Amino acid sequence: MIAGLQARRLGWLVFALALVVRVVYIFESDASPLFGHPAVDAKTYTHHAQRLAAGNWLGVGEGPFWQPPLYPYFLGAVKVLFPESFFYAVRFVQALLGALVCAMSWWIGRALFNPAVGLLAGIGAALCGPLIFFDGELLPASLATFVDLLALVVLLRVWRHPSRWGFLGAGVAFGFGALAVPTVLTFAVAVPIALLWVTPRRQGLIWAGAFSLGVILAIAPVAWRNWAIGGDGVGISYNAGINLYIGNNSNYKETVAIRPGWEWDDLVTQPAREGIERPSAKSAYFAARAWDYIRGDPIGWLGLMGRKLGAFWHGDERGRNQPIYFWRIYSTVLSATLWKAGIAFPFGLVAPLALWGMLLSLRRIGPTWPLLYVLCYCLGVIAFFVAARYRVPVLPVLVVFAAYGVWALWDWGRARCWRNLGLGLAVCLVFALAANSHLAPMDMEGDAAIHYNLGNAYAEAGDKERALAAFERAVAEDPEYWQAWLNLGGVKAALGDLAAGEAIFARVAQKAPRQVEPWMNLAHVRIMRRDLEGAFRYYESALAANPKLLPAYVEMIRLYGQIGDLARAAHVLQRAVDHLPAERERLRQFYEEIQTRALGR
């Protein structure tokens, strides 16, 4: 009993250490412009959460889920509870979840190996830079890590005292994990197979069936919502197909590096340009392209999978859309726990030690659920593409195996088993050399994408001077980043330099004629210069790029109404109705309002 109390005290100490570190990091990172003005995926999740918090909890009118829904609903709940302090509140909640993850790492290490391994694993997770970083990001990684690790703890406890209800609960837990990041489904599929393999047939069927039923029960409400309200047969979300294609095609390096914005939109809208409208069919379109590549070049695909496997175990933290090392400038905590100097810390140290610990545990105690979890999760990540945030949910378990590897080496040294110690160190050295080979420099200056996102954040905050400097830095880093050029022109125009803004818009329109934004901005500049005919020409260019561009029609109708040319306004109305029949009533009402104002003058 006394030993149990002491053990629980250590668990609470691990939890407290992890929580303090994460809270300090939150207070440091609020100096980042992106703290209250999220970018890219974080911005998408935040906007989704705002719509949910506004009352549309079923997502009526939004179709099936594009991204797995658990994280947006989590954000939406926090938004309802803490509307005024949302950006702090959600990070504090995630810090709490992250601290619980560290406590669960301690528990798994203690349960699987011994108390020393558990303590080392808990402290390692508490001070693990990537875990700290993603606990402060508005991304699913933090929530998914918590739910997945909780599910793994439930499974380990059920395995000690098996029951059908226990396996049902474990399945439900992993099903919820899939609603945050579906990669965990690889393990959820493997568990019933393993149960059938290692348990008597009848018992195995009952346990495997209960576990599978639990997974289905967790996912079923989302699938029902996608069908009944979203109007399409989508299990969780329909971004699976495009993600599969991004990670499995002959131009992998180019597709995985596609930037958010125009480049991404061009890729996403490919099915629509071919007449495919149903979300499930769009996902199937990209999945079919991926399978065509795999079937057409199996040797090349195997080579690609090998490279992705190497990337998964490499120490470098690969950013998705933007590097993560840059954000160290805002935090001493992150600077101390995430760096590159000969090795990529911490993953360049964790990965080789974890591989060593996994091999040693397999030899000493045989296959375990955490080992199977690591292998399945690794397979799930490389089936798509590798990025730091996608391997975060497996990182706490890797820390457990790394702690076991360290403990085994220390135990051999204490026992003077020099041969075993030397062999173990040699294996770790080989793994470490591979995990830290060809390290890219630690970019603390920031690439074009980072400065573009900073510019957007400054602009949203109303700091036009800093936004101008950030966009200028972005285009200096990448002179062909036309979306950054567009925003640079917008800031210049907002600061009163219409000529410079117009020149930039014209250049962007020339380089990216299919994009409507530069044409619309040129039209607005012409209006400000009282050149309405010039504005109409640019509106027509925007409509040539996208005949279904509602704002262009609306602005043209309004302008024609202001100058009293109702005949041309009516002509634009008819064009708009032809291209946008679903907007017929709204457009007619708008035209009637314009007509009434024009005739009343």
Q: Could you report the per-residue pLDDT of 151-179, keeping only the tens digit for each?
A: 999 999 999 999 999 999 999 999 999 99
Q: How confident is the model at residue 2 (pLDDT cuts 50, 70, 90)?
A: very low
pTM of the model as a whole? 0.94
pLDDT (tens digit per residue) in 237-268: 999 999 999 999 999 999 999 988 899 999 99
- Residue 136 reports pLDDT greater than 50: yes
Q: What is the pLDDT of residue 4?
A: 58
Q: Please, what's the b/e burial string for 447-466 (b: 16 or more CB within 10 A of its CB; e: otherwise)?
A: bbbbbbbbbbbbbeeeeeeb
Quote the CA–CA distance of 402 and 390 in Å, as a whole number: 19
* Cα within 13 Å of Cα(110), Cβ side: 21
Say if residues 158 and 65 touch (Cβ distance below 8 Å). Answer: no
Helix (H) or strand (E) holding 557: helix 550-562
Domain boundaries, the chain: 2-234+331-435, 547-601
Under DSSP, the state recorded for 439 is P
- Quick: pLDDT tens for 414-445: 999 999 999 999 999 999 999 999 998 898 88
Beta bridge partners of 341: 343
Residue type, 566: L
The DSSP code for 440 is P
- Using DSSP, how many helices (H) and how many strands (E) does the chain show? 31, 2
Helices (H), 181-314: 185-198, 201-228, 240-247, 252-256, 262-268, 270-273, 279-296, 298-313
Q: If you ran DSSP here, which 8-state letter would residue 181 be given?
A: -
pLDDT-derived band of residue 1, with 50, 70 and 90 as boundaries?
A: very low
